[in-house]
Amino acid sequence: MSDPRTGVEPYAPELIEARWRQRWEERRTNAVDLRAAERPYFNLMMFPYPSAEGLHVGNVFAFVGSDIHGRFRRLQGWGVFEPIGFDAFGIHSENYALKVNTHPGKLIPANIARFREQLKRVGLMVDWDHELSTTDPRYYTWTQWIFLQLFKAGLAVKKKAPVNWCPECKTVLANEQVIDGFCERHPQVRVHQRLLEQWFFKITDYAERLLENLETLDWSESTRLMQTNWIGRSEGAELAFAMPTGDTIRVFTTRPDTVFGATYMVLAPEHPLVEKLTTREQQHAVREYRRQAAAQDIVTRRVGDREKTGVFTGSYARNPATGESIPVWIADYVLMEYGTGAIMAVPAHDERDYEFATTFDLPVRQVIQPNASAATSDPARGSSIPYTGWDGVMVNSGAFDGMPCADAAREITAWLARTGAGTATVQYRLHDWCISRQRYWGPPIPIIYCDACGTVPVPTADLPVLLPPIDDFRPDETGVSPLARHEEWYRVPCPACGAPARRETDVSDTFLDSSWYFLRYPSTEFDDRPFDAALTSRWLPVKCYIGGNEHAVLHLMYARFIIMVLHDLGHLGFAEPFTRFRAHGTIVKDGAKMSKSRGNVVVPDEYLAKWGADTFRMYLMFLGPYQEGGDFRDQGIAGQRRFLDKVWSLVRTAVRGTAGAEHGTAMRKLHQTIRGVTEDMEELRYNTAIAKLMEYVNVLRGRGDAAEDAAETDGGEGVPAELLHPLAIMLAPFAPHFAEECWERLGGRSSVFNAAWPAFDAGLAREEEIELVVQVNGKVRGRLKVSPGLSESEAVRRALADDGVRRFVNGEDVKQAIYVPDRLVNLVV
């Protein structure tokens, strides 16, 4: 069907997109030969959790941005591998399954099928032959294998740890699921703390390397900063405070310079020495305090603005610097999981210690005299106590009096070290990674407990430990995994001695599944190895990883850790998985966060059906800077469609052959566009890249500022195909189906994605005449048309000849002339 007046058939996205989806599949356009491809480029997008709701517009935004990068690299001549998979284990899937009372093993395949169809509709350059799901035994065999590697290396250990427990949900909650001490799903139910045996990965052993390596990675700055803060490195000293009993309380401090001001000590309520230190008289009070602390959930305990509480143990320790006996207290503001679980309290130079000392009337001794400028820098406080800065000198500190704090920190540590009471150390905020889940929907942890042999790893040959398809997967109040109710499953002979033994009934954390999925993609065909050595060294590390910053800390940190361990164990030739990482932004709807309760959730299917994938992709990339996100407004989409319509009509009316002299303006604009778009594509500046393509199209249509003398292309003559080929290529990453169709109609062969990204020619981009801005005293008073490369003296002469300029110079002497070649001349009078 064609327009009766112009005779041009209209742009019909549904037909075009269906046709090209089919051709891509038939011709295997998106598949790359993993063994032979030249310049291999692993383009990775964060695989989705296949929710029952289907693909979210946030997923589409993320994937399209990554896909555009992959397609751009392919056009630049790289062999691009762009796989996708599904992160389908985990509490999220399990909770949904419980809600609708259907087994997750049944739901997940259906969800994945739906996701797959939606993703195909978006037009990603995905090689579907390498699709994977973390719930597939062919996959989680190797997740279990990774656990065993860590276990054998001594990096997987079982220890007791406190967890959040909701009596209503009858399950353990993640810290993120506890809100101000209450369960997120039961706002009236207080969460309790329970002590459970858990498997931990010793990620803290890798803290220093995880931190150091960050500097070598080309990652989004925000992501790198979050990881840095999460690791939380602090330099300081570990000091020993001796007890009359012969015990020693070890403390970590970042301020060893203040040790002369330590007037009391505080232990965490759970500290192992508490029982021993507590005197008979204090026993009742201490026991009661510890009971209360234990009943609190972890999150409440950590809220910072609570009033200080605590009790005296009855015992005293010796300050190694002063030799004084100082009281030992317990208080919940000291956390067992940081440092040594004990502190020396210096109330004169620490806010928390000061507050505690004031509450319990403990002595405060100033040991730092702030320098004059520092002391008065906080007028709100009248007094310089507590002073926590570094800008001061020591007082009340024996031989160290008068020394600047920073020097004293070093000197005092060295002095205490000579008596064995101190060592310079480093502490990290990072905690070991608890991977146990008392849940059903995950890979069983491959461990067997035998009375005779102890903790025995499942032999690799026996993997996978299949997750049995039980019906009663709902967690109950016992706090043990649903698998623990299935004796027929967990009773097994010990692999070492054959005696009756018992399987571990916990499953592992979803983050373990996702910490290595990118290793699996190139090797999905193999059942006898997690990843093939040759393919892995060819394709990894990942060249570009794009994903949301919500995974900046956990997923990316865990993945780096696992890869580093596998490297150290000799399985991989690289220690960092992602050479380049870019965080994309989030999109909001009409200025507000999307949520079901607001009813403003953008459902991609509706937009894909109405506008087609190409228009929708273009709009998503145009609505804001990709790395910041933007505001999705329905009204804006039509603009992208109009743009494609304009390109379409240029293509349909194009004339064969090359551009002539009369197309000088268009040719110049083309090369300026090639330069600008190429730079933008490198930096993921998709919104401005699209804007530049629009400008070029405006010029081709004889419109816009740069068009001026380009009207020759207007008037039914048609634009030469030479000027449209590069446009089709530059548009291809954004609107792949559309670009294919244009390419074909312009006489292109095979796929536009087998073409080469256009080359920039500086000579063709050069302007013959430029506008020079003339300022007088910094204000624009005129403009000159000049040829590039004008000399300063000539520029000033021409500027002074301008009527408008002369009015403002007003006959006065020009004191100074600033000349920025080809940009402006500023006359100072």
Partner RNA sequence: GCCCGGGUGGCGGAAUGGGCAGACGCAAGGGACUUAAAAUCCCUGGGGGGCAACCCCGUGCGGGUUCGACUCCCGCCCCGGGCACCA
Among 2, 22, 216, 222, binds RNA (CB under 7 A): 222
Please check whether residue 631 is in contact with residue 591, taking contact to mean a CB–CB distance below 8 angstroms: yes
Report residue 623 as tokens: 């609505």
Name residues contacting RNA, limited to 403-462 (CB under 7 A): 427, 429
Give the shortest CB-229-to-RNA separation in angstroms.
6
Residue 411 phi, psi (nearest 5): -65, -40
Among 459, 636, 660, 821, binds RNA (CB under 7 A): 636
Give the shortest CB-803-to-RNA separation in angstroms.
9
Give the shortest CB-786-to-RNA separation in angstroms.
12
Name residues contacting RNA, limited to 705-724 (CB under 7 A): 705
Give the shortest CB-293-to-RNA separation in angstroms.
10
Please check whether residue 89 is in contact with residue 135, taking contact to mean a CB–CB distance below 8 angstroms: yes
Number of residues located near RNA, criterion CB under 7 A: 86
Q: In this chain, which stretch among 62-70, 72-80, 151-159, 636-644 interacts with RNA, using CB under 7 A?
A: 636-644
Name residues contacting RNA, limited to 643-702 (CB under 7 A): 643, 645-646, 685, 687-688, 690-691, 694-695, 698, 701
CB atoms within 10 A of CB 218: 11
CB atoms within 10 A of CB 734: 26
Q: Cβ closer to RNA: 347 or 444? A: 347
Q: Which residue shows structure tokens 């220093």?
A: 208
Among 232, 314, 389, 468, binds RNA (CB under 7 A): 232
The beta strand positions in 416-542, using DSSP E, are 422-428, 433-434, 436-437, 447-450, 454-457, 491-493, 500-503, 507-508
Q: Collapsing DSSP states into helix, strand and coil, what is residue 532?
A: coil
Please check whether residue 611 is in contact with residue 636, taking contact to mean a CB–CB distance below 8 angstroms: no
Please check whether residue 34 is in contact with residue 538, taking contact to mean a CB–CB distance below 8 angstroms: yes
Q: Cβ closer to RNA: 173 or 447? A: 173
| Closest by CA position to 458, among listed 793, 792, 144 | 144
Among 234, 282, 322, 678, binds RNA (CB under 7 A): 234
Among 58, 392, 547, 630, binds RNA (CB under 7 A): 630
828 scored as a contact of RNA (CB under 7 A): yes
Give the shortest CB-223-to-RNA separation in angstroms.
9
Q: In this chain, which stretch among 101-109, 329-337, 364-372, 724-732 interacts with RNA, using CB under 7 A?
A: 329-337
Beta carbons within 8 Å of 388's beta carbon, 6+ residues apart = 349, 350, 351
Name residues contacting RNA, limited to 743-782 (CB under 7 A): 771, 773, 775, 777-781
Q: 237 burial class (0-12, 13-18, 19+ CB within 10 angstroms)? A: buried
Among 182, 338, 360, 489, binds RNA (CB under 7 A): 338
Among 34, 458, 623, 666, binds RNA (CB under 7 A): 623
Measured in residues, the chain has a length of: 829
CA distances (Å), origin 614, targets 45, 109, 164, 737: 19, 28, 47, 7
Give the shortest CB-88-to-RNA separation in angstroms.
24
Name residues contacting RNA, limited to 537-566 (CB under 7 A): 549-550, 553
| Closest by CA position to 774, among listed 709, 829, 811 | 829
Q: What does the longest C-alpha to C-alpha distance in the chain come to?
A: 108
Among 230, 260, 329, 531, binds RNA (CB under 7 A): 230
Exposure class string for 6-18: b at 16+ Cβ within 10 A, else e: eeeeebebeebbe
Binding mask 244-263 for RNA (x = CB under 7 A): --------xxxx--------
Helices and strands in the chain: count of H runs, count of E runs: 28, 34
Name residues contacting RNA, limited to 803-822 (CB under 7 A): 804, 808, 816, 818, 820
Q: Collapsing DSSP states into helix, strand and coil, what is residue 707?
A: coil
Binding mask 565-604 for RNA (x = CB under 7 A): --------------------------x-x-----------
Residue type, 824: L
Give the shortest CB-491-to-RNA separation in angstroms.
40
Q: Cβ closer to RNA: 625 or 664? A: 625
Give the shortest CB-415-to-RNA separation in angstroms.
18
Q: 150 burial class (0-12, 13-18, 19+ CB within 10 angstroms)? A: buried
Among 197, 628, 709, 794, binds RNA (CB under 7 A): 628
> For the residues of 64-123, what is the DSSP string, one character each?
HHHHHHHHHHHHTT-EEE---EE---SHHHHHHHHHTT--HHHHHHHHHHHHHHHHHHHT
Binding mask 187-206 for RNA (x = CB under 7 A): --------------------
CA distances (Å), origin 87, targets 100, 141, 444, 464, 664: 20, 15, 16, 18, 53
Among 137, 625, 664, 718, binds RNA (CB under 7 A): 625
Please check whether residue 78 is in contact with residue 41, taking contact to mean a CB–CB distance below 8 angstroms: yes
Q: Cβ closer to RNA: 80 or 217? A: 217
Q: Cβ closer to RNA: 256 or 530? A: 256
> For the residues of 625-691, what is the DSSP string, one character each?
-TTTEEEE-GGGHHHHHHHHHHHHHHHHT-BSS---GGGHHHHHHHHHHHHHHHHHHHTT-HHHHHH
Among 4, 7, 246, 304, binds RNA (CB under 7 A): 304
Report residue 280 as tokens: 């008979």
Name residues contacting RNA, limited to 39-98 (CB under 7 A): none
Give the shortest CB-821-to-RNA separation in angstroms.
10
Name residues contacting RNA, limited to 263-292 (CB under 7 A): 268
Q: Cβ closer to RNA: 131 or 332? A: 332
Name residues contacting RNA, limited to 111-140 (CB under 7 A): none
Among 79, 261, 339, 736, binds RNA (CB under 7 A): 339
Among 398, 639, 747, 821, binds RNA (CB under 7 A): 639
Name residues contacting RNA, limited to 351-390 (CB under 7 A): 352
Give the shortest CB-590-to-RNA separation in angstroms.
9
Give the shortest CB-387-to-RNA separation in angstroms.
14
CA distance 142 to 139: 6
Give the shortest CB-212-to-RNA separation in angstroms.
18
